[in-house]
Amino acid sequence: MTATNIIDGKAFAEGLRKDIAGHVARLKAEHRLVPGLSVVLVGDDPASHVYVRNKGKATLEAGMKSEEFRLPASATQAEVLARVEALNNDPTVHGILVQLPLPKQVDSAAIINAIDPDKDVDGFHVVNVGRLNTGQPSMVPCTPLGCLLMLKHHLGNLAGKRAVVVGRSNIVGKPMAALLLGESCTVTIAHSRTADLPGEVRRADIVIAAVGKAEMVRGDWIKPGATVIDVGINRIERDGKAKLVGDVAFDEAVKVAGLITPVPGGVGPMTIACLLRNTVTAACRIKGIPDPQ
């Protein structure tokens, strides 16, 4: 990839992780604080195992404490709740993440809302959703936070920009819209019932695509010079080969956009980096130390 308008999320995430490792080293030296992240994994979904392994590895590489708790696919709601409760009460744990999806017999919302909101590094607890939407310090969901950091790095002040967020999920679309509103963008949230999606996208200076439909956003929907952040991860087969593509038709959009994230190598690497960032933030808040980030 050589075009100069492509945002290199991998390099940006590596830089962020290096900065975080520096903050962690200083927190250890100056405050004897080792931020700790605990991940709870229930069942044997292979993709979840890969995610959890990558999160643990990145946590250790940043110099933090990492713990993983595995429960069988047959675990009851009470067993998962007991594990969360134990982590809430453990002073060496600053971040708790329950890997989703959970098995059918476990109520995900009840588990997420049982996490101490101050340790909820995924930012999914209703208290954090409320804090984010009322402009209070909150834990912010990692993927939208990663998108925002990239946008601010490349565009600076976002105030007054027209943003369209395609997708209204609780983990990406809605928090992304809240973050952009917090930056004083004029925000439109589009979804499967939006009447004229191409028209909505064409008006936007910033397009966030978080849909889960391969290459749905076409190049001729993009306003020339707009910034396009593609959150989608879709596995497709093309020319007999497995391929990872985003929600944006990259080859078309890259010719029109001012800036664009590729898939892979755009938003994806930022998600884990932001999980580490959130763990440092949680540790500092819990200990009453200024957050260096």
Q: Which residues bind ligand NDP (CB under 6 A)?
A: 143, 166-169, 171-173, 190-194, 197, 210-213, 231-234, 267-268, 271
Q: For ligand NDP, which is the closer residue by CB, 88 or 133?
A: 133
At its nearest, how many Å lie between ligand NDP and the CB of residue 72?
26
Give the separation between CA 257 and CA 244, rounded to whole angstroms: 20
Q: For ligand NDP, which is the closer residue by CB, 113 or 234?
A: 234
| Residue 122 is among the residues annotated as catalytic for this protein | yes
At its nearest, how many Å lie between ligand NDP and the CB of residue 213?
5
| Residue 196 is among the residues annotated as catalytic for this protein | no
Buried b (16+ CB within 10 A) or exposed e, 129-155: bebbeeeeebbbbbbbbbbbbbbeeee
Q: For ligand NDP, which is the closer residue by CB, 33 or 172?
A: 172
The residues, any chain, with a CB within 8 Å of residue 55's CB and separated by 6 or more, are 37, 39, 66, 97, 272, 275
| Residue 136 is among the residues annotated as catalytic for this protein | no
Q: For ligand NDP, which is the closer residue by CB, 115 or 201?
A: 201
Helix or strand (DSSP H, E) at 164:
strand 162-166
Instruction: Using DSSP, state whether 40 is helix, strand or coil.
Output: strand
Residue nearest to ligand NDP (CB): 169
Give the separation between CA 86 and CA 63, rounded to whole angstroms: 23
Catalytic residue, chosen from 122, 205, 230, 247, is: 122
At its nearest, how many Å lie between ligand NDP and the CB of residue 264?
9
Identity at 289, one-letter amino acid code: I
Give the separation between CA 140 and CA 148, rounded to whole angstroms: 11
Hey, which residues are catalytic here?
Answer: 55, 99, 122
